[in-house]
Amino acid sequence: MPIENSRIGGLYKLSVSERRELLAEMSGMSPEQVKAWADSGELDEESADRMIENVVGTYSLPIGVATNFVIDGSHYAIPFVLEEPSVVAAASNMAKRCLAKGGFSSDNDDPVMIGQIQVVNCEDPEGAKDSIISNRDDLVSRCNEVDPILVKFGGGCRDVTARVIETGSGAMVIVHILVDCRDAMGANAVNTMAETIAPTIESITGGTVILRIISNLAVHRLARVSAVFTPEEMSDKGDSKQGSEVIDGVVQAYHFAEADPFRATTHNKGIMNAISAVAIACGQDWRAIESGAHSYASHERIYGSLTKWSKDDDGNLVGSIELPMAVGLVGGAVRVHPAAQANVALLGVESADELAKVMAAAGLAQNLGALRALATVGIQAGHMKLHVRNMAVTAGAEGEEIDRVASMLRERGSRITQASVMAALEELRSQ
């Protein structure tokens, strides 16, 4: 179950070990799960060697926790795994700003994935397509015979469709099997079904089946999350007038991304900063999620924003996100990687649908954080304040010097550059 309250004040002030203890107590994590967080080499070599080929070691990234998330009335502390500063802070900040209007609301599709079967060398492609549609019920039944366990839990093949496309190799009949994967991502189930019915497809069409593979453009498995932000909450200090100006800037920034693929690419990258970070944290196939998201951003349109932002009649900012979200809690790395198991335990999610809405909410919050920064002080101001510690290390700072240099530059409020960091370090050492 999710935690009782995601409003964890002062979390950033605690030591790493203190954060672990507090979050473990709040979420009911086991000592083994907490240890998986604490062990920098949480994945032992034997387990790693079973996951991929030619293993030589493991690679660690920080796990941060985003706070203040209320989604459909439940509180979530959300684990992020990434190397980029300001992402966790920005997402937490924006999540806090929509609490006055109840937080985030979700409306997800059922977890239906698409399996594609490519049929070539059909003498009559349109007739072959019609034959597939005529045999739909039989094909659905054959698919469901493959995975009776999935069917038992309410999933299974729901439909079979077909279309004809023109290609450089001539006309092809493309068969889609639509499979409800329940709490699995679904690749194994879908691919097995597609391969199983391939001979039947050949018999029906008189053609030759080549590819039998899942599609990551999961247009039937969309996650949708929305939130409302008041002018007061969008301001720095509860100033409604200033907040309204911020909202206007956010909407204009969104319109730029919606109209221009060059802007939309970076706009959507910011969204995926959060979504991919949660996906990695929870042992998901983030490459599939990334490809599906960017494909959907150009699906039946010019590449544009995955989010929408507008102002309602009361002057509030209304934001929403819609994108494919093929995630699962059954099988895959989430069942093998100790830290992924710990992160899922922290979240308290009990279904793939619940994980999908958490990830979508994180993406929406992160997008707003970037848009608000761009529309006000600029993206570098907050980013560089958090990045300055890394810059201090690069400049040669060690131990306590790192935080002291960072504090010096933050207090001065001037533009932070590598040159200013090096100068501050020299100044500190000359004292």
In this prediction, residues 212-236 reach a mean pLDDT of 97
pLDDT at 196 over 60: yes
User: Which fold would CATH assign to domain 112-215?
Assistant: Alpha-Beta Plaits (3.30.70)
Can you tell me the distance from the alpha carbon of 380 to that of 393, in angstroms, rounded to the nearest whole number? Answer: 19
In this prediction, residues 402-408 reach a mean pLDDT of 85
Question: HEC profile for the chain?
Answer: CCECCCCCCCHHHCCHHHHHHHHHHHHCCCHHHHHHHHCCCCCCHHHHHHHCCCCCCCCCCCEEEEEEEEECCEEEEEEEECCCCCHHHHHHHHHHHCHHHCCEEECCCCCEEEEEEEEECCCCHHHHHHHHHHCHHHHHHHHHHHCHHHHHCCCEEEEEEEEEEEECCEEEEEEEEEEECCCECCHHHHHHHHHHHHHHHHHHHCCEEEEEEEECCCCCCEEEEEEEECHHHHCCCCCHHHHHHHHHHHHHHHHHHHHCHHHHHHHHHHHHHHHHHHHHHCCCCHHHHHHHHHHHCCCCCCCCCCEEEEECCCCCEEEEEEEECCCCCECCHHHCCHHHHHHHHHHCCCCHHHHHHHHHHHHHHHHHHHHHHHHCCCHHHHHHHHHHHHHHHHHCCCCHHHHHHHHHHHHHCCCCCHHHHHHHHHHHHHC
401 is catalytic: no
Can you tell me the distance from the alpha carbon of 274 to that of 79, in angstroms, rounded to the nearest whole number? Answer: 10
Burial class (CB in 10 A: 0-12, 13-18, 19+), 98: buried
pLDDT at 382 over 70: no
Can you tell me the distance from the alpha carbon of 138 to that of 347, in angstroms, rounded to the nearest whole number? Answer: 41
Burial class (CB in 10 A: 0-12, 13-18, 19+), 414: exposed
21 is catalytic: no
Lowest mean pLDDT among 46-55, 102-111, 231-240, 263-272: 46-55
Q: Which of 25, 84, 236, 350 is the catalytic position? A: 84
* 82 — pLDDT class (breaks 50, 70, 90): very high
* 381 — pLDDT class (breaks 50, 70, 90): low
pLDDT at 379 over 90: no
411 is catalytic: no
Q: Which residue has the tokens 């034959």?
A: 131
pLDDT at 129 over 80: yes
285 is catalytic: yes
pLDDT at 47: 85
pLDDT at 27: 96
Between 408 and 363, the higher pLDDT residue: 363
pLDDT at 148 over 60: yes
pLDDT at 328: 97
In this prediction, residues 146-175 reach a mean pLDDT of 97
Could you report the per-residue pLDDT of 290-340, keeping only the tens digit for each? 999 999 999 999 999 999 999 999 999 999 999 999 999 998 889 889 999
Q: Per the structure block, which two tokens stand in for 257?
A: 């991304």
pLDDT at 383: 55
Q: Per the structure block, which two tokens stand in for 409?
A: 């530059």
CB 219 within 8 A of CB 322: no
Q: Which residue has the tokens 């679904």?
A: 186
**Range 11-106+224-376 classified under CATH 3.90.770.10:** yes
Q: Per the structure block, which two tokens stand in for 218?
A: 């999961």
pLDDT at 402: 85
pLDDT at 192 over 90: yes
Can you tell me the distance from the alpha carbon of 394 to that of 149, in angstroms, rounded to the nearest whole number? Answer: 54
pLDDT at 44: 81
pLDDT at 390: 75
CB 131 within 8 A of CB 123: no
Q: Which of 269, 350, 426, 427 is the catalytic position? A: 269
Could you report the per-residue pLDDT of 264-275, keeping only the tens digit for each? 999 999 999 999
* 121 — pLDDT class (breaks 50, 70, 90): very high
pLDDT at 410 over 80: no
pLDDT at 61: 93
Q: Which of 147, 285, 322, 353 is the catalytic position? A: 285
Can you tell me the distance from the alpha carbon of 302 to that of 265, in angstroms, rounded to the nearest whole number? Answer: 12
pLDDT at 138: 98
pLDDT at 231 over 60: yes
pLDDT at 403: 84
pLDDT at 417: 83
Parse the chain into domains and list their residue ranges.
11-106+224-376, 112-215, 381-430
* 184 — pLDDT class (breaks 50, 70, 90): very high
| Averaged pLDDT score across all residues of the chain | 94
pLDDT at 335: 86
- The structure's pTM equals 0.90
pLDDT at 415 over 80: no
One-letter identity of residue 85: P
Given this chain, do its domains 11-106+224-376 and 112-215 carry the same CATH topology? Answer: no
